[in-house]
């Protein structure tokens, strides 16, 4: 299942790399694609991942999830 979230605060490719790394390290998440232009991260959930786990991973590195998971 593919999921897209809006990530607020990214301004450069280093930000993209940080978000990609943070999401990739969550068990059950794969195929992470982060778009600086759209301010979005898209990923595949191989197994269910709690929404709060994803939000916490993004917040921990200094960014904000600005809309609910779709």
For residue range 6-65, list pLDDT tens digits in order. Answer: 999 999 999 999 999 999 999 999 999 999 999 999 999 999 999 999 999 999 999 999
Domain count across the chain: 1
**Does the global pTM surpass 0.95?**
no
Residue 20 lies in a domain: yes
Kindly report the CATH number assigned to the domain that includes residue 28: 3.30.70.100
Taking the C-alpha atoms of residue 26 and residue 21, their distance in angstroms, rounded to an integer, is 9
**Domain span at residue 42?**
2-65
**Diameter of the chain by CA atoms?**
30
Which candidate, 50, 56, 61, 60, places its Cα nearest to that of 3?
Answer: 50
- Read off the tokens for 49: 């991942």
- Residue 52, CA distances (Å) to 33, 37, 60 in order: 20, 25, 12
Residue 55 lies in a domain: yes
Residue 70 lies in a domain: no
Residue 57 lies in a domain: yes
Which of the four pLDDT bands, split at 50, 70 and 90, describes residue 66? confident
């Amino acid at each position: 299942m593919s999921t897209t979230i809006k990530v607020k605060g990214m301004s450069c490719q280093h930000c993209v790399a940080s978000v990609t790394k943070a999401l990739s390290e969550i068990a059950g998440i794969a195929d992470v694609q982060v778009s600086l232009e759209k301010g979005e991260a898209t990923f595949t959930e191989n197994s269910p991942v709690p929404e709060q786990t994803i939000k916490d991973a993004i917040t921990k590195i200094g960014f904000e999830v600005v809309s609910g998971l779709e």
